[in-house]
């Protein structure tokens, strides 16, 4: 049975420790975000936010990043990664030991370089437009004699 109260909601940063487990037990929660932000001073990146005794919950396509999913509950098609942001704002996915695996958002790819001049392709197009040096190879002639 789909849990209408907790499905398709944004619960970022929320805790449900004081909510009765009966509001969750043996239901399906679909498409909700339970993401927990790591903050300086936190003792653990992964947060235990659900009520004690919660069982039989199936989370479907939910964001459970930095959330501990208690035993007896299931996550299907969910994101359940450990994520920590550095002081410079770059967020990394961590393994279970807290080691960086990869950035959440990969860096921008290097620009494509023109093989002739080794300039970024976007720059070449911009320079050509600015200098009006783009030739489309089209000749426009004067049209006369229409309607005679």
Q: Per-residue DSSP letters for 78-98?
A: -B--EEEE-TTS-EEEE-TTS
Q: What is the average pLDDT score of the chain?
A: 83
Flag whether pLDDT at 46 surpasses 80: yes
Flag whether pLDDT at 9 surpasses 60: yes
Q: What percent of the chain has pLDDT over 90?
A: 48
CA 146 to chain CA mean position, Å: 60
Q: What is the pTM of this model?
A: 0.68
Residue spans per domain, the chain: 1-106
Flag whether pLDDT at 101 surpasses 60: yes
> Which H or E run contains 75?
strand 74-76
Flag whether pLDDT at 129 surpasses 70: no
Q: 3-state class of 68 per DSSP? A: coil
* Tens of pLDDT, residues 50-88: 999 999 999 999 999 999 999 999 999 999 998 888 777
Q: What percent of the chain has pLDDT over 70?
A: 71
Q: Which two tokens stand for residue 130?
A: 């600015």
């Amino acid at each position: 049975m789909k849990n209408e109260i907790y499905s398709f909601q944004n619960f970022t940063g929320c805790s449900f420790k004081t909510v009765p487990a009966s509001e969750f037990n043996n239901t399906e929660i679909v498409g909700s975000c339970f993401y927990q932000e790591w903050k300086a001073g936190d003792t653990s990146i992964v947060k235990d936010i659900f009520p004690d005794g919660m069982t039989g919950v199936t989370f479907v396509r939910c964001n459970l990043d930095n959330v501990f999913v208690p035993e007896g509950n299931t996550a299907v098609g969910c994101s359940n990664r450990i994520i920590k942001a550095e002081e410079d704002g770059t967020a990394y996915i961590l393994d279970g030991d807290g080691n960086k695996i990869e950035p959440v958002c990969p860096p921008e790819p290097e620009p494509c370089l023109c093989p002739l001049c080794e300039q970024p392709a976007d720059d070449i197009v911009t320079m050509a437009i600015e200098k009006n040096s783009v030739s489309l190879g089209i000749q426009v002639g004067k049209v006369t004699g229409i309607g005679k």
